[in-house]
């Protein structure tokens, strides 16, 4: 009963409804094969959204994820050009480490200097993009410059789903485990839910926020390699504006921007919702230019919905003050 009323169930119903609507106009969209490819396409968004989820849970926001993805991806591509025989496993390790390091920069500024996360990540967003330009000299790295194993790995198909899709699933499961079963995961909820109470419980709020940024950064780095390899091209503006879609996926997935509320399943479903919309637009003959406006509208509807759902909780002592805010 509680699941039926839950945020995730409503979202799942919305997704099924959406798929049904699309199927009436274009039945081939819901074949297993096509759904698998839609899922694979959405994997980078899902991975980034899972990282963003942790950050938002701790009352922060990370607007630098797309720039982090592009920078790490560019570095991976450049390493691949310089050393084509490097094993893919090592490339992924480099991507994770570098992404985590970039996330740590955000985290340290938020933790040690208490600078508002939105300012920090707006700044690092532009800095990372600029650094890509400095590194690449504004040049593109194209498919023929990358090695076959580098670009081929995420696209290999196992049991009908690409490796990229499997990696996304692994990340989602690991995150679910982390959030539900570890002290660190619970501390993210505690820190975001009530920072003062968290302090008295012995949690270090700044440190939790720092770790959230590191996780978000590492996942952005991983997505960076996957993105570059999947599309087999690297340039400055890759995934430009993608950070908004990531925040949208989280908000749609029921992550409260006020912190402390959210779930891995919700985030995954939020990402899937956006991914389906994105992939369905061309097949139902709607111009792809609609996508930006649709994700914007989806953010607004979702955040209004979240606010309504969360309003009844807690005792309202000062009614007039509550409404005036």
Partner 1 sequence: MSLAETTSAPETRSRGPVPDRLRAPWEAKLKSWESLLLVVAIGIFILNSFASPYFLNAWNLSDATFNFTEKAMIAFAMALLIIAGEIDLSVASIIALASTAMGLVMEAGFGTPAIVATGLVTGLLCGAFNGVLVTRLGLPSIVVTIGTMSLFRGISYIVLGDGAFRGYPSDFSFFGQGYAFWVISVELVIFAVLAVIYGVVLHKTNFGRAVYAIGNNATGALFSGIRVARVKMILFLLTGLMSGVAAVCLTSRLGSTRPSIASGMELEVVTMVVLGGVNILGGSGSIPGVVIAAFVMGLVTFGLGLLNVPGIVMSIFIGLLLIGVIALPRLWAKVRGRG
C-alpha angle 44-45-51 in degrees, rounded to nearest 5: 95
The answer to whether residue 125 forms part of the interface with partner 1 (CB under 8 A) is yes
**Rounded to the nearest whole angstrom, what is the least distance from the CB of residue 196 to partner 1 in the complex?**
6
| C-alpha dist (Å) from residue 315 to 139, 194, 199, 280, 322 | 58, 15, 22, 43, 11
Kindly list the distances between the CA atom of residue 292 and the CA atoms of 36, 42, 196, 214, 244, in Å, as whole numbers in the listed order. Answer: 24, 16, 38, 28, 9
Should residue 140 be labelled a site residue for partner 1 when binding is judged by CB under 8 A?
A: no
Name the burial class of residue 66, with classes exposed (0-12), middle (13-18) and buried (19+) by CB atoms within 10 angstroms of its CB: buried
274/91 Cα distance (integer angstroms): 29
157-158 vs 161-162, strand pairing mode: antiparallel
x-marked contacts with partner 1 along 278-307 as a string, rule CB under 8 A: ---------x-xxxxxxxxx-xx--xx--x
Task: CB nearer to partner 1: give 116 or 160.
Answer: 116
Is 158 near partner 1 (CB under 8 A)? no
Cβ–Cβ under 8 Å, residues 74 and 228:
yes
Among 126, 142, 156, 182, binds partner 1 (CB under 8 A): 126
The structure tokens listed for 201 are 């419980």
Secondary structure percentages of the chain, helix, strand, coil, to 5 = 75, 0, 20
- Binding residues for partner 1, rule CB under 8 A, total 58
> Which range of residues in 1-9, 165-173, 197-205, 221-229 is near partner 1 by CB under 8 A?
197-205
Report the residue number, 59 or 230, with the smaller CB distance to partner 1. Answer: 59
SS3 6: coil
Contact status: 186 vs partner 1 (CB under 8 A): no
**127 touching partner 1, by CB under 8 A:** yes
Stretch that binds partner 1, among 86-94, 120-128, 152-160, 181-189 (CB under 8 A): 120-128
- 61 near partner 1, judged by CB under 8 A: yes
Q: Which residues bind partner 1 (CB under 8 A)?
A: 59, 61, 109, 113-116, 118-120, 122-127, 129-131, 133-134, 138, 191, 195-196, 198-199, 204-206, 236, 244, 247-248, 251, 257-258, 287, 289-297, 299-300, 303-304, 307, 318, 320-321, 323-325
């Amino acid at each position: 009963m509680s699941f039926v009323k839950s945020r995730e169930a409503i979202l799942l119903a919305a997704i099924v409804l959406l798929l049904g609507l699309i199927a009436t106009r274009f039945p081939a969209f819901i074949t297993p094969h096509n759904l698998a490819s839609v899922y694979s396409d959405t994997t980078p968004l899902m991975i980034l959204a899972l990282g963003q989820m942790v950050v938002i849970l701790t009352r922060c926001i990370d607007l630098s994820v797309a720039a982090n993805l592009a920078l790490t991806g560019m570095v991976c591509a450049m390493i691949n050009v310089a050393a084509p025989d490097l094993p893919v496993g090592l490339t992924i390790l480099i991507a994770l480490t570098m992404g985590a390091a970039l996330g740590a920069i955000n985290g340290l500024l938020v933790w040690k200097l208490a600078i508002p996360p939105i300012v920090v990540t707006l700044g690092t967003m532009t800095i990372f993009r600029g650094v890509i330009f400095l590194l690449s000299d504004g040049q593109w790295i194209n498919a023929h410059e990358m090695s076959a194993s580098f670009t081929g790995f995420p696209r290999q198909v196992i049991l009908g789903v690409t490796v990229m899709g499997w990696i996304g699933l692994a990340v989602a499961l690991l995150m679910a485990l982390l959030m539900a079963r570890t002290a660190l995961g619970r501390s993210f909820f505690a820190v975001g839910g009530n920072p003062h109470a968290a302090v008295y419980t012995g949690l270090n709020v700044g440190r939790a926020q720092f770790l959230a940024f590191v996780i978000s950064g590492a996942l952005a780095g991983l997505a960076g390699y996957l993105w570059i390899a999947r599309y087999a091209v690297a340039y400055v503006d890759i995934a430009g504006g993608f950070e908004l879609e990531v925040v949208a996926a989280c908000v749609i997935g029921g992550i409260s921007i006020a912190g402390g509320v959210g779930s891995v399943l919700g985030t995954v479903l939020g990402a899937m919702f956006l991914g389906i919309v994105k992939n369905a637009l061309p097949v139902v003959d709607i111009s792809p230019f609609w996508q930006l406006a649709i994700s914007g509208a989806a953010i607004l509807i979702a955040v209004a919905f979240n606010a309504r759902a969360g309003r009844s909780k807690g005792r309202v002592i000062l009614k007039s003050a509550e409404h005036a805010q």
